[in-house]
Structure formats: C-alpha cells, structure tokens
Amino acid sequence: MSSPSPIPPPNDRRSSRASSNASQPGPGSSSNATSSLDVASEPSDLLVVGGPPSSPSPLALRASNSPSSKRRKSRVEKIPPDLHLLEYVSPCDSNLVCLICHAPFGKPVRLVCDHYFCRDCLDHAWEAQQDGHKTCPTCRNRVDVDREPLSVPRILENMLDELVVKCPNSRLGCEWSDQRANVQDHVMLYCEYTLVECGSYDCRFPVSQKDFHKGCLHYTVNCEHCHTSLMRRDLEEHQTTACPNKSTSCPHCATEVLRVELKAHIKDVCARAIVPCPGAIVGCTFVAERTEVWLHERSCPMATMAPHFREQQTRLERNEAKLEPLARRVVILEDGLSNITNMLYPANDNASSFPVTNPLDPNNADAFPPAPLVPTPDFRLPPASLHDSLREEVSRIATALTEVEGRASMMIINDGQRFKDELLHTNANINNMRVQLHWLMSTTLQQRTANSASNSTSGRAGSGATASTSAPSGSTTQGAARNRSGAAGPGVTGHSPFRRLSDSTRQDTKL
C-alpha cells in the first residue's frame, strides 16, 4: 500500500543521513562516522570526510585550503554527539522517553518483558547490579543475556529520528536545530563550532572549526583594558562580555557605563531599574522603576519611617553585640564569686585541701605548707572585680552577723520571760504559804491567849494597872494589844490576815 519512494524527496531532512550512509555499508551509521573519517584520511593528506565524493564538504574544502593541513598530517578528531545530552526543542511524547535517563531514547533496545531502555542506560544499570544476573529495571524479570536485549521496531527509531534537537554546540553559538537524524552529520561535518585540534604545529588545544583558519590562538595575552592575562582565543569574548573596564550599556536605561560599575549603577542610580520602595523594610510592597519609586516615596508613610527604623535596627544590633561580652563577664564574675565563697567556707568534705588546723600551732606549720591555705586567686579575674566581689562578700557577712545577733537577743528575751513567769509562780506559792502560816499562828495565839486569860487574869490586871497609871483609862485595851503585838514580832499584820490575803491576790492579778 505504502511503498517507500525509491528516491527521497529533495526536501526530506533525512536525505543527508542517506547520503552519509551511502559511503559506507550498513545502517549502523552514527558511530561509524568517526571511523569513516579515519579511514578516509589515511590514504591521502587531503582530508575527505563523509559526504558524497562528488560534493566535498565545506570542512574538507577549508581543511584542504588551510596551510597547516599541508604541513603536517592533520587528523581532525571530532567527538560524535552524545544522544543523551542533546537538547530537544519541544517536549516529546512520554512513550519515547527512557525511564532511566528521562530523555528520549538514545539507541533504544527492548527486553523480552516488552520494556524499552537506551542501550547505554541499561548497561549502566546492569553494571551496578552486584549479584551477577541481570534483570529488567522496571519489572525485575530475569534477562537472558544470550538473546537480549532485542532490537526495537523500525517505527520507534523513525519517531526518534524525527525529534527536533538543537546543535550540541548551541552554547558556543551555533543556532542550528533540526531532526535528530541529522545531528551527527551536522556536528561532524558542518557545524562551525565543533571543536577540532588546533592547526598549529605543536599545539594540542581544541579550537572551534570556524577559528581553525585563524591559526593558533592559544597564547597568553593581556587585555589592554583590565590587564588580565588570558588566552588570545578568549580575548574577544572577554571584551564583549566580561572585561570590567570595557563600557557596556545598562540593560535598563541604555546608559553607557563601565562593566565594573554596572552593578552599582543598577543598584543605586539607574532611573529605569526596578527597585522596591525604601519603606520595604517596614512592609511597603511597592516595587517599580526607580523614577516611579521616587514619586511614590513622597507619599509613602513607610518610606518616611524607614530611615528611623534602620537606625533603630543598627542600634539594636550594636547593643546586642555589646551584650555578648557583658554576658561573658558576668560568667567570669560568678566564677570568681564562687571561688571566693569556696575559700571562705571550705566544705567539710574538702577538709584535705582546706585543713582545719590552728594556724598558730607551730607543730602544724610544716605538716601543711602554707600554699593551699592561701586562697589562690583566679587569675582570670581583674583586680577590680576581685575587690568588688570581696566587698560583696563582706556585706553579706555583715548581714549574716546582724541576723545572728537578732536571733540571740530574741532567745534571751524569751528565756527571761519564762524565768519571770516561774518566779511569779513561786512568789504566789510563798504568799499562800505565808497566809496559811499566819492563820495557823493566829489561831495558835488566840488559843494560847484564851488559855492564859483564864489562867492569869491577875497578871493582866497588874499590867493593866501599870498602864493605867501612865495613860488615860480609855486606852487600856489598846495599849495591851500593842504590847502583845510587840511581843509577837510580826504582829503588825496579825490583826488583819484577810486584808493581806486580798492584798496578795491583788498582787497576783497585777503580775
């Protein structure tokens, strides 16, 4: 039905492949191109590469014209393009993509399980399989190394050949792009940017095909603008794209500035550069060309606040920076303080290092050398801080002393109170006893007076008679009573035992 046309139409892009294949047997094509070059260059000095013999390729023409090719046996070694590294112009059908490299198949192969991979990818994957036998990366089906991998249907290869790719030298400047089937020919024969060995006699550097005729450019020169030393080959590129002392035009406002100043120009000056509002640090989201930002700035409250905020920010940072050494100093001081505390109150379990001995005891002076007794100051401490911490310590001790003093006097007061209470109690008891004694005594006295009154009325009368001589008669009994009390000693109170009692109770309540 669809019989292939015997002669490809003149516009068919695959025609060049066909022509290159014509010079050699087999459709293996791609990898054979290099060898065909070698074969072709062996017999004669004239370089003949690929292509139909009737139409010498431009490269061949140029190479034959170049004087160096006459002088020495020139071998142009070009590296065929790696299909894996090609850049495709448009994203391609996912069915044409290898699951290992995620790129369109380079040289596709098929496994029995009907999974497809690039030949190279499959080899890579199998290399890493340690256990000897090879499996399909997708389904882990064991691979029969004698039969597999199998070839793929022709249609798949055709579809791959029709994918449009860029020249692998596109980064060097080549703008060619065409079907993948032609890339080999383009790179090997036509591309001006393919690297070849320098034509100079003793130079082995690669050079672009288009620069081959310029002779060797592999010597060092100084850029006249910035005095950087670099290879002659790179000079032009350096001066157009990199040299800091060459003027370039600003991409925003087209002003001519030196390249070295371009950054500063865009950052601070360029009127057309897109910059944020200076209030951005406070939250303004306005971003526009600098001229517009200038207008905006006048009305933006945040832009007005920004310098103030920035100042605060720097102050904050400064303070934070200051804080750090201070914190370190606090740590040192704390260390020093705890050292001093240790010296002043050596812990009991530290008795060996701080022997509790009588320093006045001469016998001990030798047994414990004075060194450990002398507090060893921390040498990290500056004297001022040592002094400070000592002062702190002294005031601490003073407070402790006051506290102890207060506690002692409190104790004394409490004890005194208790003694006083006891004393009062004892006093009351004594009074009680005294009252009882009086009562007993007065009863005994009354009994005795009653007895003696009945026994010796005469004696009493006699004495009464003597008294009546010197005193009025009305006071006889009184005088007798006075006499009696004088004889009885404590008789003063004898008449009023109850009054005393009440007295003592009154005293009790008063205490």
Of 232 and 434, which CB lies nearer to Zn ion in the complex structure?
A: 232
Distance between CA atoms of residues 209 and 195, nearest Å? 6
Of 82 and 421, which CB lies nearer to other proteins in the complex structure?
A: 82
CA–CA distances in Å: residue 241 to residues 219, 235, 247, 333: 20, 10, 10, 60
**Residues with Cβ < 8 Å from 408, sequence gap 6 or more?**
none
Contact between 137 and other proteins by CB under 8 A: the answer reads: yes
Contact between 103 and other proteins by CB under 8 A: the answer reads: yes
Contact between 59 and Zn ion by CB under 5 A: the answer reads: no
Tokens standing for residue 30: 């791609």
Contact between 107 and Zn ion by CB under 5 A: the answer reads: no
Distance between CA atoms of residues 183 and 16, nearest Å? 10
The piece of 133-141, 159-167, 210-218, 480-488 that touches other proteins (CB under 8 A) is 133-141
Contact between 100 and other proteins by CB under 8 A: the answer reads: yes
Contact between 93 and other proteins by CB under 8 A: the answer reads: no
Among Zn ion, other proteins, none, the one that 253 touches (CB under a kind-dependent 5 to 8 A) is Zn ion
Least gap, CB of 274 to other proteins (angstroms): 24
**Residues with Cβ < 8 Å from 238, sequence gap 6 or more?**
223, 228, 230
Determine which residue in the list 107, 119, 124, 252 makes contact with other proteins, applying CB under 8 A: 124
Distance between CA atoms of residues 232 and 226, nearest Å? 14
Distance between CA atoms of residues 301 and 282, nearest Å? 10
Q: For the chain, give the longest Cα–Cα distance.
A: 198
Of 76 and 121, which CB lies nearer to other proteins in the complex structure?
A: 121
Contact between 125 and other proteins by CB under 8 A: the answer reads: yes
Contact between 323 and other proteins by CB under 8 A: the answer reads: no
Among Zn ion, other proteins, none, the one that 102 touches (CB under a kind-dependent 5 to 8 A) is other proteins
Of 148 and 335, which CB lies nearer to other proteins in the complex structure?
A: 148
The piece of 148-156, 270-278, 318-326, 371-379 that touches Zn ion (CB under 5 A) is 270-278
What backbone torsions phi and psi does residue 207 show, to the nearest 5 degrees?
-145, 150
Contact yes or no for 239/259 (Cβ under 8 A): no
Contact yes or no for 129/136 (Cβ under 8 A): no
**3 state DSSP class of 288:** strand
Tokens standing for residue 192: 């001006």
Among other proteins, Zn ion, none, the one that 286 touches (CB under a kind-dependent 5 to 8 A) is Zn ion
Of 198 and 340, which CB lies nearer to Zn ion in the complex structure?
A: 198
Hey, CA dihedral for 223, 227, 231, 237, is it positive or negative? negative
What backbone torsions phi and psi does residue 124 show, to the nearest 5 degrees?
-55, -50
Among Zn ion, other proteins, none, the one that 128 touches (CB under a kind-dependent 5 to 8 A) is other proteins
Residue 350, CB-side half-sphere exposure with 13 Å CA sphere:
10
Contact yes or no for 220/230 (Cβ under 8 A): yes
Tokens standing for residue 63: 């190479």
Determine which residue in the list 42, 93, 127, 320 makes contact with other proteins, applying CB under 8 A: 127
Contact between 110 and other proteins by CB under 8 A: the answer reads: no
What backbone torsions phi and psi does residue 196 show, to the nearest 5 degrees?
-130, 170
Contact yes or no for 271/254 (Cβ under 8 A): no
The piece of 75-83, 173-181, 393-401, 493-501 that touches Zn ion (CB under 5 A) is 173-181
Determine which residue in the list 59, 63, 275, 277 makes contact with Zn ion, applying CB under 5 A: 277
Tokens standing for residue 359: 């320093």
Of 99 and 400, which CB lies nearer to other proteins in the complex structure?
A: 99
Determine which residue in the list 63, 160, 163, 223 makes contact with Zn ion, applying CB under 5 A: 223
Tokens standing for residue 156: 């798949």
Contact between 163 and Zn ion by CB under 5 A: the answer reads: no
**3 state DSSP class of 336:** helix
Contact between 139 and Zn ion by CB under 5 A: the answer reads: yes
Determine which residue in the list 13, 14, 62, 84 makes contact with other proteins, applying CB under 8 A: 84
Site map for Zn ion, 298-317, x if CB under 5 A? --x--x--------------
> What is the binding site for Zn ion (CB under 5 A)?
98, 100-101, 113, 115, 118, 121, 136, 138-139, 141, 167, 169, 174, 176, 191, 198, 200, 203, 205, 216, 218, 223, 225-226, 243, 250, 252-253, 255, 270, 277, 279, 284, 286, 300, 303
